[in-house]
Structure 1
Amino acid sequence: MYRLRIILTICLLILGAGTSHAESIENTEDTSRGAKLVPSGQKEKFYEDLYHKSYALVIGVSDYDNWDRLPGVKKDVEAVEKALYGSGFDEVTTVRDPYSDQMEDAFEDFISKHGRHPENRLLFYFAGHGHTVSKEGGREPMGYIVPKDAPRPEENEAEFERIALPMRRINEYSQKINAKHVLFLFDSCFSGSLLGKIRSGSISKKIHYKAEKPVRQFITAGEEGETVPDVSIFRDFFVEALDGAGDTDKDGFITGSELGEFLQKSVIEYPNSVQHPQYAKSSDIDLNKGDFIFKIGDDKKSRKFPSFRDYLGQTKFRGPKMIVLPNGEFKMGSLPDEAWHDRNEHPRHWVQISAFAISETEVTFDDYRRFVKDNPEHELPGDEGWGRKGRPVINVSWEDAKDYAKWLTEQTGKNYRLPSEAEWEYAARAGTDTPFSTGECIHTSRANYNAKFDYTGCKLRTKKVYKKTETVGSLPANLWGLREMHGNVWEWTADCWHGDYKGAPDDGSAWKVKGDNGDCSRHVIRGGSWYSEPWHLRSASRIGFFSHKGSSTIGFRLARDCDKPKCGPNRGEEVENGEE
């Protein structure tokens, strides 16, 4: 489904205090997402020095009375709320499915309570339908955001204009606020008077200069006449930007101007995208000298972890490149409303993970060849005529993979093994709780799979079929620097097959116990392959495969236990940030 949807984010760097009356209509249902929000008391000292307090108002309308329902808005609100808490906001107020009077009350009460202090930071985010009413007689068209109870304009235009909230009002709100910085984001293909009266802004050089001067900034997801899908790539890139990708000059900060440029470039260049985001600053000379500022924190999802390669014996050869992942906690399994989820991915449960190292890529034929040379009882598997150089080893059984790990342990003096299912999913998710680490959708620009099929609602059926494995590391890494966790080849894990998670370990260890639900003649494979439909690439997707058999669609990657207190190589220096 496509929607004329607006996501409005008015990031007012207004540092004030208090709570919004809008909270009285907040939906308090526990969505049980897979990550915990950062409490306001843990924000960085940077924000304490720069701002007094940081508040956000997030409004989402998905269950309309007269317009098409927008189920994707619910996830938009959750994702943005989580991203804002992670970006230093003290309080995020969410309002779901408001009627017209509730929506206006939410804006006005929030501004009244939090907009008075000149050193506060505020953010307003609206997700729902938007509409532009064209005017006759040369009058300017007007854009509106649509509350739950608004009629469709083609049925009653006068009533629509009375109930819907015009962009003129949003502009008035921005002028009323006694705050330095205000940022509006509209995830819609929007036209009307607002952007016509503001001008594009350039990125100034000094962060403190930007912080001291006031600004009103506006970003829209597209131009008039374009459509915005219910599955929002604009929202995905907004969250990705706050996770660090929006820091285009790599100075540790994201400005509103950088955010606008990042969203514009990312959305336009996204495969099959028809959106052209626009961004600008206010034409008011007193409100266009500053810039909205986010600081990139150490706790962002987009992270570079230490990496290393162990030496093989006393030779110059080294094993696979390993990336050290820290302790963590995540929810394993799929959400009940995740498209194409399977009952074997339930019940969803919290798992504690101890620090461990995992190979950046799947084990290659080159890696495996050294093992075969030392173990003549094993043969170098067939490559299906695709070539071996740089490609993941295939046609290996679970037993072959286990023997390789045992050999590597002997060579390095470190405990190599197959990752547990929990460790594998922890690494694949890389801090996300969406179906893929890339968000709600996956694309052939990010993974090797059968794109004759489309994942639900993504509209990304590129019809590109790789028809074979790709060289490891040839596709973009996930947020933790791991390559091809989605697609290319299924990957063996240490766990025996169980038909669901009832009784599964919660400490990250492999589940090897046989029983009513266990079968150790099969082991779990994860990640999907070049042959797989996109739903098999989901982070939660799992299949049991016969342990003694191999396939052209199955390979593996390795895990390694960490030495305490530091996880590093057996000799030589640690390789920082993936560089050798």
Structure 2
Amino acid sequence: MPLNKHHKTLNLTNLLAWLVGLTPMLALSSTGFADAATTQTSVGIATEKPAEGPFVALDDGTFMVPYTQRIPGTDIEFEMIPVPGGAFTLGTPENADYFVDDEGPTIPLKVKPMWVAKTETRWDMYKEYMRMYGVFKEFESQGIRVVDESNVADAVTAPTELYDPSFTFEYGSKATQPAVTMTQYAAQQFTKWLSRMSGVQYRLPTEAEWEYAARAGTTTAYSWGDDPDEIEDYAWYFDNSLDGPGDVATKKPNAFGLYDMHGNAAEWTVNEYTEDGYEWMKEANPGDATSATRWPENPWPCVARGGSWEMDPPDLRSAARLASDDEEWKSEDPNFPRSPWWFTSDPSRGVGFRMFRSYETLPEEVITKFWEASSQETLDDVESRVSEGRSGYGYVDEELSEAMKKLAE
């Protein structure tokens, strides 16, 4: 779709062109595939206009295209879809029948082109990150890839072992299901881990970026319109998913080609939750969706979007917000301090995340905010776990997968 990095408005004509470009869906070429050796600037960029499938035309004559990313050292892959830049209105109008107080006031914003994961982060992907706990511990015991002051900025923490796997995995942990029950901090660290290993900058979205991707050019309650009776075709929700989250990408996608933006797993954003909605934006006037970020000062409440398989249709609307509650979501955690990586209680089995990637590489001082907790309480909890030996840091770069292979020999 010929939108460029100056993010022209996504109008009806452009949206129709995008829809036409989705047939046949996501034809991938060798120019669109990525591996750990590919640089950030070339992954997902084609020099020739694709014959089919979605694309975003750039000013320099190249094209953003779909691509498949492999987690280095594994056969695990996921797809990233190019989403055109544009302009949209964040939130729900007060005169809408489905208006909720924390979804206003509406704020006009511009959005830069980006790639968005085709599906929510799956268990096969997240379990590879969970495996880092043992790997980092083994590195530490052998004095390999030691984390010190010179490289701590490139280190991540890995989630400790689940206190009660039967709770998290009660409704399944198949490779094809969305990973759930991780905290916002754990999701942030996952994106840092994958970014450092692959050389491609992945992150969580802001609320505004998430809503833009979910709406896919619409202004209605859902990406398919205002009629909740059509939800069966697009979402796993309470009435059709009593046995847990469904496999990803088994319902219809939205107009951008993104699956499960409604239901299945609610998806973390980086934003702090505010009861008065977007009042803070009226004064801050961010203008751009990536800058429309209220960094959390406390571990909670933070915002997850899209609703989950445990929820009813109104909670799955494009503008609906879910506020996290650590007191409730960690109520059965016997540890002190409570885990900064895991939740122990519902509704956390409906909370996961999806990866985003900016077209333009974010500067270090900005991407660091997306990867690290901004809450001092969370940072203190992590440091407490590390100092007590209940967790640790691991240095992550593009050589990590090779170091892991040597460790296994």
Q: Shorter-chain TM-score category? A: 0.5 to 0.7
- CA drift of 1:339 comes to 2.7
Equivalence for 1:557: 354
Where in structure 2 are the equivalents of 1:393-412 lying within 5 Å? 393-412=179-198
Where in structure 2 are the equivalents of 1:402-551 lying within 5 Å? 402-442=188-228, 443-451=231-239, 464-499=240-275, 500-504=277-281, 505-509=286-290, 510-513=292-295, 520-546=299-325, 548=340, 550=343, 551=348
304, 317, 320: which one aligns with 2:54: 304
- Alpha carbons of 1:311 and 1:530: their partners in 2 closer, same or farther (altered >3 Å)? closer
- Alpha carbons of 1:546 and 1:248: their partners in 2 closer, same or farther (altered >3 Å)? closer
Alpha-carbon distance in 2 for matches of 1:426, 1:337: 20
Q: Does 1:375 align with 2:142?
A: no
Q: What amino acid is aligned across from residue 304 of structure 1 in structure 2?
A: P
- CA drift of 1:506 comes to 2.9
Instruction: Work out the number of aligned pairs and report it.
Output: 269
Q: Which has the higher contact order (CA 8 A, sep 6+)?
A: 2
94, 104, 115: which one aligns with 1:346: 104
Alpha-carbon distance in 1 for matches of 2:179, 2:173: 10
Q: Higher strand fraction: Structure 1 or Structure 2?
A: 1
Equivalence for 1:258: none
- Alpha carbons of 1:419 and 1:316: their partners in 2 closer, same or farther (altered >3 Å)? same
Q: What amino acid is aligned across from residue 447 of structure 1 in structure 2?
A: A
Alpha-carbon distance in 2 for matches of 1:373, 1:37: 41
Q: What amino acid is aligned across from residue 527 of structure 1 in structure 2?
A: G
The SS at the match of 2:128 is: helix
78, 82, 103: which one aligns with 1:324: 82
- CA drift of 1:331 comes to 0.5
Alpha-carbon distance in 2 for matches of 1:326, 1:36: 9
Structure 2: where are the runs of 5+ without partners? 1-7, 26-48, 56-64, 135-157, 327-339, 362-397, 399-409
Alpha-carbon distance in 2 for matches of 1:508, 1:249: 30
- CA drift of 1:520 comes to 5.0
Alpha-carbon distance in 2 for matches of 1:423, 1:248: 25
Q: TM-score normalized by structure 1?
A: 0.42
Where in structure 2 are the equivalents of 1:57-76 lying within 5 Å? none
- Alpha carbons of 1:530 and 1:355: their partners in 2 closer, same or farther (altered >3 Å)? same
Q: What amino acid is aligned across from residue 352 of structure 2 in structure 1?
A: G
| Paired residues of 1:309 and 1:318 also in contact (CA < 8 A) | no
| Paired residues of 1:358 and 1:419 also in contact (CA < 8 A) | no
Q: What amino acid is aligned across from residue 119 of structure 2 in structure 1?
A: T
The SS at the match of 1:409 is: helix
- CA drift of 1:537 comes to 0.7
Alpha-carbon distance in 1 for matches of 2:214, 2:19: 19
- CA drift of 1:310 comes to 2.9
| Paired residues of 1:345 and 1:542 also in contact (CA < 8 A) | yes
> C-alpha deviations, 1:422-450, integer Å up to 9, x for none?
11001000000000001112321221112
- CA drift of 1:485 comes to 0.1
- CA drift of 1:487 comes to 0.5
- Alpha carbons of 1:352 and 1:244: their partners in 2 closer, same or farther (altered >3 Å)? closer
The SS at the match of 1:444 is: helix
| Paired residues of 2:214 and 2:261 also in contact (CA < 8 A) | yes
Q: Higher helix fraction: Structure 1 or Structure 2?
A: 2
- Alpha carbons of 1:337 and 1:310: their partners in 2 closer, same or farther (altered >3 Å)? same
- Alpha carbons of 1:534 and 1:372: their partners in 2 closer, same or farther (altered >3 Å)? same
Q: TM-score normalized by structure 2?
A: 0.58
Q: What amino acid is aligned across from residue 543 of structure 1 in structure 2?
A: L
Alpha-carbon distance in 1 for matches of 2:252, 2:180: 21
The SS at the match of 2:280 is: coil
- Alpha carbons of 1:334 and 1:374: their partners in 2 closer, same or farther (altered >3 Å)? same
Q: What amino acid is aligned across from residue 71 of structure 2 in structure 1?
A: L
Q: What amino acid is aligned across from residue 545 of structure 1 in structure 2?
A: S
- CA drift of 1:465 comes to 4.6
Alpha-carbon distance in 2 for matches of 1:360, 1:399: 22
Alpha-carbon distance in 2 for matches of 1:479, 1:356: 15
Q: What amino acid is aligned across from residue 288 of structure 2 in structure 1?
A: D
- Give the aligned CA root-mean-square deviation in angstroms: 3.5
Q: What amino acid is aligned across from residue 410 of structure 1 in structure 2?
A: R
Name the stretch that deviates more: 317-326 or 499-508. Answer: 317-326
Percent same amino acid at aligned positions?
Answer: 29
- CA drift of 1:352 comes to 1.2
- CA drift of 1:507 comes to 1.2
Alpha-carbon distance in 2 for matches of 1:530, 1:563: 34
- Alpha carbons of 1:520 and 1:386: their partners in 2 closer, same or farther (altered >3 Å)? closer
Alpha-carbon distance in 2 for matches of 1:337, 1:511: 26
The SS at the match of 1:309 is: strand
Structure 1: where are the runs of 5+ without partners? 1-34, 39-82, 88-239, 251-297, 452-463, 565-570, 572-580
- Alpha carbons of 1:466 and 1:385: their partners in 2 closer, same or farther (altered >3 Å)? closer
Which of these two proteins has the greater Rg computed from alpha carbons?
A: 1
> C-alpha deviations, 1:177-219, integer Å up to 9, x for none?
xxxxxxxxxxxxxxxxxxxxxxxxxxxxxxxxxxxxxxxxxxx
Alpha-carbon distance in 2 for matches of 1:390, 1:350: 36
- CA drift of 1:311 comes to 3.7
Alpha-carbon distance in 1 for matches of 2:273, 2:19: 37
Equivalence for 1:355: 113
Where in structure 2 are the equivalents of 1:41-190 lying within 5 Å? 86=13
Q: What amino acid is aligned across from residue 350 of structure 2 in structure 1?
A: T
> C-alpha deviations, 1:339-396, integer Å up to 9, x for none?
3321111110111111222111000110011111123352366321434230001111
- CA drift of 1:318 comes to 5.0
